[in-house]
Structure 1
Amino acid sequence: MNIGIRLGAPVEPTIWTYERIKNTYGEITDYVKDYINFAADDDANGPFYFLRALYDDAKDRDITPNDVARAWLNYTREGIGMFWWGGYGISTEHTAYVNLKKGVPAPQSGSIQQNGQLMAEQIGGQIFIDTWGLVNPGNPKKAADFGEAAARVSHDGEGVYGARFFCAAIAAAFETSDITAIIEAGLAQVPAESTYNRVARAVLKFHAENPNDFRACRDMLERDWGYDKYRGVCHMIPNAGVCILAMIYGQGDFNRTVEIATMCGWDTDCNAGNVGTVLGVAAGIAGIADKYRKPINDSIVMSGISGYLNILDIPTYAKELAILGYRLAGEPCPADLKESFVEDEIYFDFELPGSTHNIRISDPFFCQAKHSTEKAFKGTGSLEVVFDRMTRGEKSKIFYKPFYTRQDFSDERYSPVFSPKAFSGQTVSMEIYLDQWGGNETMGIAPYIRLANSKKELVQGYVKLVNEEWIHVEFQIPDSEGELIDEVGLVLEAYSTRKPKSLGRIFIDQFRIYGKADYTIDFKKQSVDFGCITPFAHNLGAWSIENGAMYLMTAETAEAYTGAYFAKDYSFSVQVNPHYGHSHLAAVRVQGAMRGYHAGFDGENQVSLFINDFGFKKLVSAPYAWQHDQNYMFKVTVQGSTITLYINDEEVLKHFDDTFAYGMFGVSTIAAARTSYSNIRFTEI
């Protein structure tokens, strides 16, 4: 899916017309643009975040449109990221979101009755649904039903049929690679009299008569099914035609299919992404060219409300989808699959074919990394790093990137924001095997982390590898002193003299970052990235860094969250200076914009604890004399079902509630306010 998105994104409409793509690039056979890292995209945001309805609400039953609508509201930062905010009545998703916020329930929020037929039949119902097909393998009917439920939050009519088609096609592709059979399985879940089915049949008929010229078929679509007939920003029907065209002319070849979808224009990234999912399942990893897979390096980023969840490791997510598939099918999940997926830590076992888990190399002249099944500490896979003719003092870093800043991206697509996935106090461990072919000294390694702002590398002790043996390497992440960590890994160093040079391989397996975090955030060492103060994701309000503090000014409810999404028991402290207004809160166990606890100043001389569960409810209050423009140290501790608020080391509130067992931390207000926040510390219990 993400290969298709990345291939099609640089030639999206409206500037890039079909003719302009053809005249500029001709036959597309590779990515047309290089990226430092590919930024977030709405076509990936929706499938990832909306699927969380299976965790939040539909835990033991089929989903409903309302379940997915709640995911929309919970994981979206209003007005930024997630999807295209093109205006109410222009962007279907923007329109549906506003409807939901105003209390219009799903599926009315996306209905023709509410929004009109033109708005309801745009392409979004087709592009945000791939994961519903992936978690229902071999069950096209159930996949289509789930896709329809999700699509009805924002779409109706033909817009829903696109969801049914693609979810069914994805599900069918698990059981056959015959592209005609896959297309028919998808169309079987769409009404025969629908326009969606008719445009698909028109393409299939044209292909049967002209099997070797996809551009002639594209001309037919332009003439008979084009944007002049199906209006709006990106209507479902012309793009559905392109998707069928790409699949039938691609004839089961993944690479050719996403290339054709891109060359056909219209909504290029959406179409190439959709057909990429279908063909990715059908063709498997072996069918995906290295030129397309390697730049992605098993990682993409998102732009939802959790900076932690926004960093996605694809092999780990593939396991999660498989586990959900077993759950939805009512079948027992294999023990080894369950054990290999750990949602609340970094665990890379390199078991899936070709997996690299986004491990990177700093100097590709000396080192190259790839997946291997030749050596494994556990299971069958590992990461193989070839080092080529290195001499004393020459080094290359081998590292995972647990955090990103703006300088890591070429553009600002959908404004991704990030919270680190590695923290001071945690443990990093891995198994390393040396297979050295040449050199008069054994290679050595030094574990290290890098700080995101200063770029300072904190290198741990030197470890000499042992040839033809696995060794265990483990270290505790040192105090980052208020900075964030953006690299975790090894410095591989040669100790051989010039002749003979060091040549060989190391294998890395069982890479983990785990344990209790204990760290501070110093705003003098942070920056403004994608409109947010690192490492926070802001939702509403105006935020800046002023005098070494994070400063908020807002006329309404506003929030800023960071930290590990699955953190359970912890203590969070922050110095709060309330400048104006009567709501100044610290937030804990936050699971999104609509779920979490908030504690602090609430009115004159009062403190309160709120639960936000799709609406704020006051749980408990107590008197507390406080003043504006004074510093107060808030500390909120969550342990089990106990929530305790301390102010200046004095316990002022304690309450018991077990609604939320885990979540992010941050700061918030539920009314107009100006506030400064500084001296943040987070400690897991």
Structure 2
Amino acid sequence: MIPNDYIEKTYAGFLGMNAGIRLGAPVEPTEWTPEMIKDVYGELDGYVKDYEVFSADDDANGPVFFMRALLDDATDREMEAQDVARAWLNYSREGIGMFWWGGDGISTEHTAYLNLIKGMHAPESGSAETNGIIMAEQIGGQIFIDTWGWLFPDKPEKAADYAEKAASVSHDKNGLYGARFIAAGIAAAYSADTIKEVIERALKEIPSNSTYAKVVHAVLEFHQQNPDDFWACRQYLEDEWGYDKYTGVCHIIPNAGVCVLALVYGEGDLSKTIEIATACGWDTDCNAGNVGSIVGTFTGISGVEKKYREPINDFIVTSSVSGYLNILDIPTFVKSLVLLGYRVSDHAPPEELVRGYKEEEVYFDFSLPGATHGFKTDLPFKTILKPNDKIGYQSEGSLEIFIDRMLEGEKSHVYYQTFYRRESFNDEKYKPVFAPKAYSGQTVSAKLYLEQYRGKEIYVIPYIRNTFTKEVTELETILLHNEEWNTISFKIPDTYGSFAEEVGIAIKSPSPRDNRAFGKIFLDEFHIHGSGDYEIDFAKQTVEFMSVTPFAHHRGQWGLENDRMTAESDTDCASFSGHYYMRDGMISSQLKPLSGTHHALIFHALGTQKYYQAGFAGEGKVALQINDFGLQTLKTVEYHWEHDREYLFEVEIRGAVIQFSINGEKILEHQDDRFAHGMFGLSMAKGGKCEYGDVRVRP
């Protein structure tokens, strides 16, 4: 049976995981010994660093994207290890983002990826026979598998089986037992009465004679004799199970010891557990993230303290090939995860869950307890944002905007950030890249309820902020009617080759000093939908996180020169952008091939291994091709083209009908419906060099 509190506990688990990652990440390098952590930060009691935006982390990337094997391949059958391997290849950009690219034979994940690229299948790609026992037993076996525990609530055996399949892409032996143990622990946490019970149920899913089981039992026995001194237990691990005995960059066994230590000494308290896991050193973000997943699920949402939850603000960034998916709203992701959990358990999901999730659109209904959906304000002195779990338009839940004595001439912006720039980040970790969540031509709507206590009229003005100019474009001013739900709706205006990085409302009131505006606005059902109508002007783009905004590059050298994007590569390469769920539309770009014979426009791309492309495909040829883990030609026509000459490529998609034109002349038409939506991009199927002019996307 699916637990009644399935979605709330999953939400708490995902928040717990990210709280642990965020707490542990600043002290992850091995230079940060437990003594150094304590010397610099003292007893941990909250995040050690204040991030404007916390950067992407492999401990979140893997759980978010590798489970997409169930969305892309294993949609109506049991999942296999190779399904997860395909997700690895499809959502990763070679050499950048997703996981640690530390080198062949050094990084387990990098080594496994190269095995897959060579054509090796999982689980051979991660086996000890292929890569050696030390490589196979590094920590990655257990840090990418949290979602398998959430997909199978209260089914530790099933969660462990799927986690093992997923981990076998890159790991083996104790690396797999760690995957089974952590996933089973998460699954067990939905119904367990104690953390001890969680551990006991997880232990049943790994071999009792394994080294992993032995270190778990060793920590449990030490804790029984020394229940009040986790530092003594940490020293015991150093002496008996340390990195000197289990080598490689980051072996799973010492860190497994820390995870169990944090669980038993944390006593079911999420904050205490992730603080202990971080204080112990070694792989701090991995360990704190894993135990945060377990204990967050165990305690539920009430166990996630404000000091850890509030800075997350329901939002993380990831670093896949899809810049659109990389801007991750946590409640939306949790809903997608839970809906998938219902599917794999063959249970019908609740109607309110189905109604509150729109996969292809931005839609926030604030129905999860304490949800904020990442909303921000530029004037927190006057507009205080907090979740409200009682008041909502159709169901309970909204964003409460408290207006604190607003005067005439004051204006506060409350907004959802729809695009991110390097300037918002403190570091370059895992190189996240972004494509906007909102585009010119799309419609934004929301419900606003005004509860005013004093002051004159309160107005809202829909607005966007341009990421290139930073200028605000305001639309029509709207008077809010008191004590009723007001509907606002507006189209995102033209951003002239740039993008909106904020979409929201400005709040103002003509209230005088002796009668200042005081009250609340409740925001619900925030919705961005419809087709985009925009262009990408490369004169208004820049290179950030090693990519030209708003693209994500896969192989090749990409840059900007003379207000154009350039690409040069010795091998095939591609670059992707746009709405991940774009369906019908027209996409055009100017191309000037400088060398090489394969230059194409990509569309309906689901990743680096799944997309259509149309363009030059050899001397005197134009082809429409599909890449589905291998390039296949669908249609070829004769067409004389030359180097150093500019061409306008345009693809029009209407359902299954694909038309490709060059310089306004239709060159080919074909029907194929294997990929019904996706990103757009640019590619060279073989080595070469090319320049690209502005890109245009139309309904």
1:191-230 matches, cutoff 5 A: 191-230=207-246
Q: Aligned with 2:515: secondary structure? A: coil
Identify the residue that residue 296 of structure 1 maps to in structure 2.
312
Tell me if the contact between 1:588 and 1:663 (Cα under 8 Å) persists in the aligned partners: yes
Distance 2:673 2:527 in 1: 30
Q: Aligned with 1:208: secondary structure? A: helix
Spell out structure 1 runs of 4+ moving beyond 6 A. none
Identify the residue that residue 515 of structure 1 maps to in structure 2.
530
Identify the residue that residue 528 of structure 1 maps to in structure 2.
543
Tell me if the contact between 1:308 and 1:418 (Cα under 8 Å) persists in the aligned partners: yes
Matching of residue 595 in structure 1 with residue 610 in structure 2: yes
**Please, which of 406, 410, 414 is the counterpart of residue 422 of structure 2?**
406
Aligned AA for 1:588?
A: F
**Please, which of 457, 463, 466 is the counterpart of residue 472 of structure 2?**
457
Tell me if the contact between 1:430 and 1:474 (Cα under 8 Å) persists in the aligned partners: yes
Identify the residue that residue 287 of structure 1 maps to in structure 2.
303
1:469-618 matches, cutoff 5 A: 469-618=484-633
Tell me if the contact between 1:358 and 1:400 (Cα under 8 Å) persists in the aligned partners: yes
Tell me if the contact between 2:581 and 2:679 (Cα under 8 Å) persists in the aligned partners: yes
Identify the residue that residue 689 of structure 2 maps to in structure 1.
674
Matching of residue 29 in structure 1 with residue 39 in structure 2: no
Identify the residue that residue 129 of structure 1 maps to in structure 2.
145
Identify the residue that residue 654 of structure 1 maps to in structure 2.
669
Post-superposition CA distance 1:331-366 (Å, at most 9, x none):
111121111111110000000000000011111111
Tell me if the contact between 1:445 and 1:492 (Cα under 8 Å) persists in the aligned partners: yes
Q: Aligned with 1:318: secondary structure? A: helix
Post-superposition CA distance 1:439-462 (Å, at most 9, x none):
1x1111100011111101110011
Tell me if the contact between 2:138 and 2:249 (Cα under 8 Å) persists in the aligned partners: yes
**Please, which of 637, 658, 676 is the counterpart of residue 643 of structure 1?**
658
Tell me if the contact between 1:42 and 1:83 (Cα under 8 Å) persists in the aligned partners: yes
**Please, which of 457, 460, 465 is the counterpart of residue 442 of structure 1?**
457
1:83-98 matches, cutoff 5 A: 83-98=99-114
Identify the residue that residue 270 of structure 1 maps to in structure 2.
286
Q: Aligned with 1:489: secondary structure? A: strand
Matching of residue 631 in structure 1 with residue 632 in structure 2: no
Distance 2:121 2:161 in 1: 19
Distance 1:230 1:155 in 2: 15
1:420-439 matches, cutoff 5 A: 420-439=436-455
Distance 1:573 1:9 in 2: 42
**Please, which of 371, 375, 385 is the counterpart of residue 391 of structure 2?**
375
**Please, which of 247, 256, 259 is the counterpart of residue 263 of structure 2?**
247
Distance 1:244 1:593 in 2: 38
Distance 2:441 2:143 in 1: 40
Q: CA deviation at 1:484?
A: 1.2
Q: CA deviation at 1:13?
A: 2.0
Identify the residue that residue 345 of structure 1 maps to in structure 2.
361
- Relative distance call for 1:447 and 1:177 in structure 2 (3 A) is farther
Matching of residue 172 in structure 1 with residue 188 in structure 2: yes
Identify the residue that residue 232 of structure 1 maps to in structure 2.
248
Aligned AA for 1:294?
A: E
TM-score by length of 2: 0.97
1:4-83 matches, cutoff 5 A: 4-83=20-99
Tell me if the contact between 1:132 and 1:167 (Cα under 8 Å) persists in the aligned partners: yes
Tell me if the contact between 1:62 and 1:146 (Cα under 8 Å) persists in the aligned partners: no
Tell me if the contact between 1:177 and 1:283 (Cα under 8 Å) persists in the aligned partners: no
Identity of aligned residues (%): 53
Bigger mean CA deviation after superposition, 649-658 or 33-42? 649-658
Identify the residue that residue 411 of structure 2 maps to in structure 1.
395
Structure 2: any 5+ residue segments left out of the alignment?
A: 1-16
Tell me if the contact between 1:351 and 1:382 (Cα under 8 Å) persists in the aligned partners: yes
Post-superposition CA distance 1:568-625 (Å, at most 9, x none):
1111000111111111100010111110011101111210111101011111110111
| Residues paired across the two proteins, number | 683
Identify the residue that residue 466 of structure 1 maps to in structure 2.
481
Tell me if the contact between 2:370 and 2:389 (Cα under 8 Å) persists in the aligned partners: no
Distance 1:355 1:175 in 2: 24
Q: Aligned with 1:330: secondary structure? A: coil
Structure 1: any 5+ residue segments left out of the alignment?
A: none
Aligned AA for 1:279?
A: V
Distance 2:391 2:421 in 1: 35
Tell me if the contact between 2:441 and 2:530 (Cα under 8 Å) persists in the aligned partners: yes
Q: CA deviation at 1:284?
A: 1.0
Aligned AA for 1:646?
A: S
1:135-174 matches, cutoff 5 A: 135-174=151-190
Post-superposition CA distance 1:304-331 (Å, at most 9, x none):
1000111100001111111011111111
Distance 1:301 1:373 in 2: 25
Post-superposition CA distance 1:498-551 (Å, at most 9, x none):
112111111001100001111111010111110101100001111111111111
Distance 1:648 1:320 in 2: 42
> What root-mean-square deviation, in Å, do the aligned CA atoms of Structure 1 and Structure 2 show?
0.8
1:97-116 matches, cutoff 5 A: 97-116=113-132
Q: CA deviation at 1:104?
A: 1.4
Q: Aligned with 1:509: secondary structure? A: strand
Post-superposition CA distance 1:85-138 (Å, at most 9, x none):
111000000000001101111100000000000000000000000001111111
Q: CA deviation at 1:256?
A: 0.4
Aligned AA for 2:549?
A: T
Q: CA deviation at 1:373?
A: 2.6
TM-score by length of 1: 0.99
Distance 1:311 1:438 in 2: 38
Bigger mean CA deviation after superposition, 236-245 or 316-325? 316-325
Distance 1:76 1:245 in 2: 33
Bigger mean CA deviation after superposition, 444-453 or 17-26? 17-26
Q: CA deviation at 1:678?
A: 1.2
Tell me if the contact between 1:177 and 1:252 (Cα under 8 Å) persists in the aligned partners: no
Q: CA deviation at 1:177?
A: 4.3
Tell me if the contact between 2:605 and 2:680 (Cα under 8 Å) persists in the aligned partners: yes
Q: Aligned with 1:99: secondary structure? A: helix
Distance 2:482 2:672 in 1: 55
Aligned AA for 1:661?
A: A
Distance 2:395 2:192 in 1: 28
Aligned AA for 1:470?
A: W
Identify the residue that residue 354 of structure 1 maps to in structure 2.
370
Q: Aligned with 1:499: secondary structure? A: helix
Distance 1:410 1:438 in 2: 41
Matching of residue 363 in structure 1 with residue 388 in structure 2: no
Post-superposition CA distance 1:622-666 (Å, at most 9, x none):
011111111111001122111111001111011111211111001
Aligned AA for 2:135?
A: M
